[in-house]
């Protein structure tokens, strides 16, 4: 985690950052069965429980932020321009996680790849190059993306 830095700027693919205010419960019925994505099965009319989206999507409210994405460098990960990422700043950034990184005071969203003590920020779009994090670079992991929200 990094300390709050007023010098951080939104990068080319970050449109905005929003804090989480979990004051209202958003509880909806949860159907107690898995829905097949193939052929339909006979309907089962029962509700298993209620699901509070705050509890499901934001287990650590004090370290959770919403980040609006701008650009197409992560489309192969299912992250599109205008989507909202739920980012947890308390999680450890490990290999293959989608992270929000600060490079030279600018935020960006990329996949973290670690290979033999070498770190790479890799876009999930073949049209963009990966960036190897060199020792001379000023790079910090700001948070780890846990969910993406977008319209179908």
Active site residue 113: no
Q: Phi first, then psi: give them for residue 46, nearest 5 degrees.
A: -150, 150
| Per-residue tokens: 86 | 């739920």
Instruction: Give the CA angle between residues 25, 151, 44 to the nearest 5°.
Output: 65
Given 73, 81, 126, 151, the catalytic residue: 73
Residue 20 in contact with residue 61, Cβ under 8 Å?
A: yes
What would you report as the CA-atom Rg of the chain, rounded to the nearest whole angstrom? Answer: 18
- Interatomic CA distance for residues 12 and 89, integer angstroms: 20
| Per-residue tokens: 101 | 């990184």
Given 110, 113, 126, 151, the catalytic residue: 110
Length of the chain measured in residues: 152
Helix (H) / strand (E) containing 54: helix 53-57
Residue 87 in contact with residue 48, Cβ under 8 Å?
A: no
Active site residues per annotation: 73, 110
């Amino acid at each position: 985690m990094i300390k709050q830095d007023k010098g951080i700027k939104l990068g080319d693919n970050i449109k905005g950052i929003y804090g989480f205010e979990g004051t209202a419960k958003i509880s909806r019925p949860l159907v107690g069965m898995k829905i097949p994505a193939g052929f339909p099965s006979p309907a089962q009319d029962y509700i298993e429980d209620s699901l509070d989206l705050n509890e499901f999507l934001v287990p650590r409210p004090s370290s959770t932020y919403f980040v609006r994405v701008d650009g197409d460098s992560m489309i192969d990960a299912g992250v599109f321009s205008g989507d909202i990422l739920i980012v947890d700043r308390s999680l450890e950034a490990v290999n293959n996680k989608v992270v929000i990184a600060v490079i030279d005071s600018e935020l960006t969203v990329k996949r973290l790849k670690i290979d033999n003590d070498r770190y790479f920020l890799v876009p999930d779009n073949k049209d963009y190059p990966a960036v190897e994090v060199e020792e001379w670079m000023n790079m910090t992991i700001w948070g780890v993306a846990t969910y993406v929200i977008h319209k179908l």
